[in-house]
Structure 1
Amino acid sequence: MTDTTHFVAPEILYQDEYILALHKPAGVLVHPSWIAPARTPNLVSWLKQQYPEDTFHTLHRLDRATSGVIVFVRNNKELAQKIHTLFEQRKVKKTYWCVVRGWIDEAGTIDYALKPIADKYADHPKANPDKEPKDAVTHYRRLACVELPIPVGRYPVARYSLVEVKPETGRKHQIRRHMKHLLHPLVGDTKHGEGRHNRLFREHFAIQRLLLMATEISFEHPDSGQTMHFKAPLDAEVCHLLVQLGWQHLLPRTEHPEV
């Protein structure tokens, strides 16, 4: 990894002999990808620089635009395979926060199968472009809502919700696609969202990113039986935005920014 111009190093949330949890900044790739030029900075390359003697196994992925907690196993392929099985059995609990357009229902479950995305930039050129839809389940709970005196389209005001999301499955862009299915797309989503709302947040709040944050992940350690629970703090700019939207009461005391 040689080009570090735009690379923001992750925060180490937890590490022991075999498990490493990081707080991935928004805009950083997890591993080398077809969507980026060769030698684009990414977490896997950064880990190889920091721990040159270690081998890291990726347990799950976060989209480049998503920030938050991500967990790796190092130097233990057998443990990585066991935790992969936990993901397959839906025994890993993941929590995200996101900001969506409109006032979403207080709570609900989205059970809507998603067809695997064939992306000429992100997927291998030989990937099958015509796969059958796979089951996808997402639980959500509205944490707060706001009405802004800013016209959007034919509406004189703009409405948004802060949502806690717990995906039961792990399909590509699942949260983003499920929220679009409900007609509540994520703010900052340039693929599945709405440009006019993305522009509003850029122009009025200087937000240039996708507002999707992986806040927590937990699972039972396959060998010790210990509950492994990792939590990532919200980025400073996201905390500042929540204060601007009047949602500061939802921030832990340690995450209150100076305003």
Structure 2
Amino acid sequence: MTPPAPPSSPAPAPPLRLLHLDDHLAVIDKPAGLLVHRTAIDAHEEDAALQRLRDQLGRPVWPAHRLDRGTSGVLVFALGAEVASALGQALAERLTSKRYLALVRGWPASEAGVIDHPLARDPELPSAGQPHLEAQTAWSCARRIELPIATDARFPTTRLALMACEPVQGRRHQIRRHLKHIAHPIVGDANHGKGPLNRALAAHFGLQRLWLHAQRLTLTHPVTGETLQLEAEPGPEWAPFL
């Protein structure tokens, strides 16, 4: 009798694309759907950017900030605890600037603006009774898109907009919550978006993702003092909207 074949090992994860690497920092282009690090909520997940980059570089790494699992783009890691602390302080003191691209429902009424709307500290809990923190996000409309498909029975087409967003702070889910606040939720946002629209567009595009991309992060290098402008161009799935 032939013994059963041993279970196959999972295919090795592809290497992360490095945007910048020196003795103190490693910056990657995080794929959408990849955790920054393992959490209790996603305890079943074994793959995360921290572990993958650590194995890729062969040394410990510390995430300097976070991106939601569904968000792609620029993600900075420190290669030492002191550098991680310095980066964390710079981010807390708003000494950095960030630019995101978001594909949203509908067309904004103007070409640019600032959303000034305090946010509850924890978006996972009811906002009543929580402290509300100052939060502003500057935005501009980069492109208006009209798809020849109906995702709402009231309209024969679907209007989307590509928006550039620059959060002043870094509140949890800040851009996602702010765009929902102005009635332009991000396509693919399961928590703050519209389920029927998300499902219809996922079927139309053949891709289900959160359409939010961290395109640029500008910061002062914590060791050399050099100004770094770190950029990750959107993936090929964004091409129809650029």
TM over 0.5: yes
Q: CA deviation at 1:7?
A: 5.0
SS in 2 for 1:152: coil
Q: How many residues align?
A: 230
How do 1:47-66 residues align onto structure 2 when only pairs under 5 Å count?
47-52=53-58, 54-66=59-71
1:186 is matched with which residue? 186
1:214 is matched with which residue? 214
Q: Deviations over 1:98-118 (max 9, x none)?
A: 100000131011111111226
Query: 1:234 and 1:51, CA in 2 relative to 1: closer, same or farther beyond 3 A?
Result: same
Query: 1:137 and 1:10, CA in 2 relative to 1: closer, same or farther beyond 3 A?
Result: same
SS in 1 for 2:214: strand
Match 1:84 to one of 63, 74, 88: 88
Q: What is the percentage of aligned positions where both structures have the same residue?
A: 36
Mapped partners of 2:28, 2:162: distance in 1: 24
- TM-score norm. by structure 2 comes to 0.88
Mapped partners of 2:76, 2:86: distance in 1: 14
How do 1:93-242 residues align onto structure 2 when only pairs under 5 Å count?
93-104=97-108, 105-117=110-122, 119=124, 131-153=130-152, 154-239=154-239, 241-242=240-241
Structure 1: segments with no counterpart, 5+ residues: 121-128, 248-259
- Give yes or no for contact 1:4–1:41 (8 Å, CA) kept in 2: no
Mapped partners of 1:131, 1:212: distance in 2: 27
2:31 is aligned with 1:25: yes
Instruction: Compute the RMSD of aligned alpha carbons.
Output: 2.0
- Give yes or no for contact 1:97–1:163 (8 Å, CA) kept in 2: yes
- TM-score norm. by structure 1 comes to 0.82
For 1:41, the aligned partner's letter is: D
- Give yes or no for contact 2:136–2:168 (8 Å, CA) kept in 1: yes
Query: 1:64 and 1:134, CA in 2 relative to 1: closer, same or farther beyond 3 A?
Result: same
Structure 2: segments with no counterpart, 5+ residues: 1-8
Q: Point out the structure with max Rg over C-alpha.
A: 2
SS in 1 for 2:120: coil
